Structure 1
Amino acid sequence: MADLVRMSPEVIAGMRMSGTKPTRENRVQWFLEGMIEHHGGALQMAHEARKNSTNPTILRLAREIIVAQRKEIIDLRKMLQSEGMNKSDYYKFDGLFAL
């Protein structure tokens, strides 16, 4: 993570949804927290798809997305914890981990 020096303007624009801006001091935390939100959004959409669809292909894809995004969030959380960060917000999507 020490190699993360500069993000492209496109990445920064995509992450602006967090309501904060990256600085040299917070860039790693800012990125990882933004990615938790991003993967959490995918979890929410996959659960909506499972709830609203009867199409077997959609249901299978939604299940696969839930499994993959759950792993991503757990991995992101571990990275933040290795940097000494652990907030309750990092766990807000855990209720969506179940299939």
Structure 2
Amino acid sequence: MATWTFLSNHAHVLLCLAEDPDHRLHDIAERVGITERGVQLILADLIADGYVERERVGRRNHYTIHPESRLRHPLEAHHRVAELVEALGPAPRHQTNC
């Protein structure tokens, strides 16, 4: 496997939340390939900077992405989070008529 990727772990966590806003930390950590503590730290960054909002629902967390937020790096600052999720997020689910 390659030793680097085009996207940061922050982007990977964000894309996991776009796929399922109710993902558990364990699930995200497994998919991204980092520790649960790493996911916690990344979520803290995303929440502190207004990219994600966390809401407690029972014993679980539900995450809401703010799609209007601009990407952080100056090279990408003209793009919104929605564009990142649209380009790289979960594949659209096709409905079938049964």
Normalising by the residue count of structure 1, what TM-score does the alignment of the two structures yield?
0.29
More helix by share: 1
Normalising by the residue count of structure 2, what TM-score does the alignment of the two structures yield?
0.29
Asked which structure has the greater CA Rg, the reply is 1
More strand by share: 2
